[in-house]
Amino acid sequence: MPADPRPTIADVARHAGVSKGLVSFALNDRPGVSRESRERILHVAEELGWTPSLRARALSTGRSFACGLVIGRSADVIAADPFFPAFIAGMEDVFSVSGQVLVLAVATPGRHEAETYRGLAKDRRVDGVILTDLRAGDERVALVAELGLDAVTLGVPDQPSPFSSISVDDGAGIRRAVDHLVTLGHRRIAHVAGPEEMLHSRRRAIAFQDAADAAGIGSQTIPTDFSAAEGAAATRRLLEQSERPTAIVYSNDLMAVAGLGVAQRTGLRVPEDLSLTGFDDAELGRHLHPSLTTVATEARQWGSAAARTLLAALEGADPQHLTLPDPTLIIRESTGPAFP
């Protein structure tokens, strides 16, 4: 086998004319090294292109230097949903400069999901995890604590939790979408929501109903699994009603795009006959005809904030609860005045 060309501590020591122990002390910023020696060692290490060995760091600290993200949705939904790629990119923005590795797993909620977390905790394959798509009475909070892993939750659990959280007002974007449609004269508005068991989906549905009630308009909500297929099915169901809605608020852009296709196939014009709004501001929505009015969230910012907060927890910081700025409504061509 070819020799590993990566320079070692022994190489740095030989070029600097000091012992390997002194190099180790200098590189780890430990006391007992003079300023002159430390500067010489660091200079030699930089010239040689020395970088720390992740395996050696793991052996010396008892940490894996890996963090887990277990997504409890079907692989098809994840592949089509633009939120998770952006969220993961934000995590990598932080992990890539901290020497941390991201371990990604997709698991069916329930027993399979629990076994996935147990597998990650076994032999310290990960040091911590990020919990997404919180559910009512989410059993993962207690499970992860029992496994001895550090964690950050996306959203605030509806139960006591020892972990840090990153959250945003789940209903703010939906309220803005409803208010926008009411201003345009819409009096029958429907909401194609996500799964009822997910807290953020439930909060969006509540915000929709509260906004509709406050405006005194007719409303209805249809839960889905966030997939394009169920979004399309919900749209067909709504448009087949004798008194169909004049506007539909979708809980993600994927379903809104599917709904747009259904509406156009039935001969409806958007927005002349039906207004549509999405959620997440996927790039595709900007290039549709008509372009999609949507709620913009900073998924990449969520990922970066979650990664930084998890790293802080791994260093022993007290739990912190960060609230990100409210999402904003981006008005494009898919919304217009209600038809008479």
What's the per-residue H, E or C state across 50-88? CCCCHHHHHHHHCCCCEEEEEECCCHHHHHHCCHHHHHH
Mean pLDDT of the chain: 90
Q: What is the pLDDT of residue 63?
A: 63
Question: For the residues 172-184, what does the mean pLDDT come to?
Answer: 97
Strand locations in 47-138, DSSP E?
A: 66-71, 101-106, 128-131
Q: Where in the chain is the domain with CATH 3.40.50.2300?
A: 66-169+299-323, 172-296
Q: What is the pLDDT of residue 55?
A: 54
**Better pLDDT: 96 or 153:** 153
* Cβ neighbours of residue 5 closer than 8 Å, sequence gap 6 or more: none
Question: For the residues 311-335, what does the mean pLDDT come to?
Answer: 94
Per-residue pLDDT of 64-107, as tens digits, reads 679 999 998 877 777 788 888 999 999 999 988 777 889 999 88
Residue with tokens 């609230």: 323
Pick the CATH number of 172-296 from 3.30.70.270, 3.40.50.2300, 3.40.640.10, 3.90.1150.60: 3.40.50.2300
Superfamily of domain 66-169+299-323: Response regulator (3.40.50.2300)
Q: Where in the chain is the domain with CATH 1.10.260.40?
A: 9-51
Contact 172, 228 (CB under 8 A): no
Q: What is the pLDDT of residue 277?
A: 98
Under CATH, to which class is 9-51 assigned?
Answer: mainly alpha
What global pTM score does this model have? 0.80
